């Protein structure tokens, strides 16, 4: 047992070291703009634009559920216009970034891990190095930059969608007027609500893409390894999103 504990400790330290090396190589590749800017646009399209439907779909139903649950909770105790407050605050501060992050961790993180893992096990990465391409500049940096920049944009749309569906739900199902909903929405609004959510989502995007790339480029063992890497990427991303969420809540709120 002692041997197992020691082995796990060494593995954990090695993992930290690998991440450090990975991070160092990625930073070293940043000046090679001409290499990563073209792929970055492609990744921004794939990570950002193509992921919008999923994020908006989740946000739309989240707004509906929030409005209904808020009215269910407030009935008889709290004025109903606080539905607007709860929907707005929750979508901007928490559910918009976190749910979009979790959804995109599955879609983007898994996709990146599988893609890079396949390239790794089929030695395409080695081929790139042979052709004097820096795999970090060509594969990793575009993905991380795309994730970091596009996640806040996706989350901004998700926030707006969730609030709009919450408002429509309030109008249609809760007998709440638009004025009342907007009154609640604006009641405790501060600009920090928005930038906190967007900043948090940027860190989520950075984390998801970084994890996807690390796990993908560390893939071994053929198709089975690719599948395992995909699973790991999703699990690690989801865990890190929740950890980061708590971390930023402690640090920034």
Residues at the site binding other proteins, with contacts judged by CB under 8 A: 38, 41-42, 44-45, 48-49, 52, 78-79, 82, 88, 149-150, 152-153, 156-157, 159-160, 185-191, 194, 198
198 or 240: CB nearest other proteins: 198
28 or 45: CB nearest other proteins: 45
| Residue written as token pair 């920034």 | 252
The four Cα atoms 56, 231, 26, 9 give a dihedral, to 10 degrees, of 130
Cβ-proximal residues to 25 (8 Å cutoff; 6+ apart), any chain: 136, 140
Q: Rounded to the nearest whole angstrom, what is the least distance from the CB of residue 188 to other proteins in the complex?
A: 8
Sign of the Cα torsion 229, 230, 236, 237 reads positive
CB 166 within 8 Å of CB 61: no
Q: Rounded to the nearest whole angstrom, what is the least distance from the CB of residue 26 to other proteins in the complex?
A: 21
- How far is Cα 68 from Cα 156, in angstroms, rounded to an integer? 22
Q: Rounded to the nearest whole angstrom, what is the least distance from the CB of residue 176 to other proteins in the complex?
A: 16
- Per the rule left: phi > 0, alpha: psi between -120 and 50, beta: everything else, 117 is alpha
Q: Which of 238, 249, 247, 245 is nearest to 113 (CA)?
A: 238
121 or 153: CB nearest other proteins: 153
- Nearest-10 crossing angle of helices 96-104, 222-252: 170
Joined tokens for residue 245: 């969420």
7 or 192: CB nearest other proteins: 192
5 or 53: CB nearest other proteins: 53
Q: Rounded to the nearest whole angstrom, what is the least distance from the CB of residue 84 to other proteins in the complex?
A: 11
Q: Rounded to the nearest whole angstrom, what is the least distance from the CB of residue 20 to other proteins in the complex?
A: 31
16 or 41: CB nearest other proteins: 41
Q: Rounded to the nearest whole angstrom, what is the least distance from the CB of residue 224 to other proteins in the complex?
A: 33
């Amino acid at each position: 047992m002692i041997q197992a504990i020691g082995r796990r400790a060494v593995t954990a330290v090695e993992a930290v070291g690998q991440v450090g090396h990975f991070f160092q190589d990625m930073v070293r590749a940043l000046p090679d703009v001409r290499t990563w800017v073209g792929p970055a646009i492609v990744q921004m399209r794939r990570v950002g634009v193509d992921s919008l439907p999923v994020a908006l779909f989740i946000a739309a139903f989240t707004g509906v559920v929030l409005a209904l649950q808020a009215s269910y909770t407030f009935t008889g105790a709290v004025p109903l216009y606080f539905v607007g407050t709860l929907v707005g605050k929750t979508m901007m501060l928490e559910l918009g970034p976190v749910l979009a992050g979790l959804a995109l961790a599955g879609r983007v993180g898994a996709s990146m891990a599988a893609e890079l893992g396949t390239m790794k096990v089929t030695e395409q990465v080695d081929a790139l190095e042979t052709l004097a391409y820096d795999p970090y500049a060509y594969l990793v940096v575009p993905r991380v930059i795309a994730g970091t920049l596009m996640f806040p944009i996706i989350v901004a749309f998700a926030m707006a969608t969730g609030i709009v569906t919450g408002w429509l739900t309030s109008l249609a199902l809760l007998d709440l007027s638009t004025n009342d909903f907007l009154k609640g929405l604006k009641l405790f609004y501060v600009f920090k609500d928005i930038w906190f959510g967007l900043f948090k989502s940027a860190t989520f995007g950075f984390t998801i893409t970084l994890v996807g790339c690390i796990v993908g480029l560390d893939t071994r063992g053929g198709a089975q390894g690719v599948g395992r890497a995909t699973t790991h990427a999703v699990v690690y991303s989801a865990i890190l999103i929740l950890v980061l969420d708590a971390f930023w809540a402690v640090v920034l709120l």
